[in-house]
Structure 1
């Protein structure tokens, strides 16, 4: 649940050219980053809010929108050179997409049918905190609510999450597959391998 994320997708879907043009003369700058961090959203246009969100997300360490990630010894990502291609492809994907901003239980109950497939990607259990991005906290109690909600659906679900003993215990009655993934914030050789879980209410076949 994140109004800034919803606003971003709405702008990309409805006003892609205005969004793209806003990046024609913008710089990758620590000062601009800090300015966007302190910018009051109240009274700010939808496009400028979306630009701010995109800028802070992509030029912050770990995409947490807290700290400017560019250092003198690190080449900046070619993000601004690819804005048009990236946004155009996202806009095309969103043409027939509905963007919701409601509690997980309401979302699932609204769309659940025997023919529905839910892919769930909740914050990592005990680790991730996206409040700095504007999202509402997702607590351990929320993880329990999600599991209880998924246990009652008529459709199918696939959930991906970090490998945690409490998660294994919580979803012990479902199909669980362990996969090894590479976790990397900087995408360097220092990235590490870790286990992640695929959980479902149907038989899965994981292709190596």
Structure 2
């Protein structure tokens, strides 16, 4: 790590993500965090934070941290946990794991709700949706564990995330605008966009395949440093040619069945 005193990282207590999220980095998080800690930086800026699968698991932090997601559900959720934690706990206190409750909340239009209601809906649906899906959610059934929405277990997890968010800047910007706003020497960006070929998994309007070419061009002119994680695909290697690639072997698990997979970590 660089010796510049402005780039020194300090220890921080990791927290658990509050719900599954499709494309979450549970398997890859430890390897990513090790790499993040090796790169001296004054600002850590996460471009697609999702449920915070990497951000919350980090054990060191710089002076400035910024998280971002163009999803209004995600950005509203983290703002509510940061600023209205007690009121949020009161709102979910009597919620139970129920297919009827899931389908009722799924049918609601998020834009018609208050920020607290929207965030409570989002957490409930994400905890109960099969495979942490965002688009096309279905009620997840499991016969080998208790119901996933148990407030007695959730309350201390929410408190830990609330404490971890102290001092963190929360943005809701398109990824390109976010890069422009925070790019400078000393910034380390972590990008975890939708997988190549699965761009619609988070909603049709959030990201499309043409964004990858634009992203590669923007990253080539970056003043700061970046780490980008994606699935290993020939087009990914073509689009991001010229950067450093690390191959990572993983196992994707769906309904108890494991499938070997390979992802890449791309850096400048």
**Superposed pair shares fold, TM > 0.5:** yes
Name 2:145's counterpart in structure 1.
75
Name 2:182's counterpart in structure 1.
111
Name 1:102's counterpart in structure 2.
173
Query: Which has the larger share of strand?
Result: 2
Per-residue CA distance 1:27-70 (angstroms, 9 max, x = gap): 10000000001113344221111110000011011212410002
Aligned residues: 196
Q: Is the 8 A contact 2:128 2:149 kept in 1?
A: no
Q: Secondary structure at the match of 2:245?
A: strand
Name 2:263's counterpart in structure 1.
196
Name 1:121's counterpart in structure 2.
192
Q: Is the 8 A contact 2:73 2:119 kept in 1?
A: yes
RMSD: 1.8
Q: Secondary structure at the match of 1:67?
A: coil
Q: Secondary structure at the match of 1:22?
A: helix
Structure 1 stretches of at least 4 aligned residues deviating more than 6 Å after TM superposition: none
Higher RCO (C-alpha under 8 Å, 6+ residues apart)? 2
Q: Is the 8 A contact 1:119 1:157 kept in 2?
A: yes
TM-score with structure 1 setting the length: 0.87
Name 1:6's counterpart in structure 2.
75
Name 1:173's counterpart in structure 2.
242
Note the residue ranges of structure 1 that are not aligned, 5 or more in a row: 202-208
Q: Secondary structure at the match of 1:182?
A: strand
Whether 1:160 aligns to 2:229 is: yes
Q: Is the 8 A contact 1:20 1:83 kept in 2?
A: no
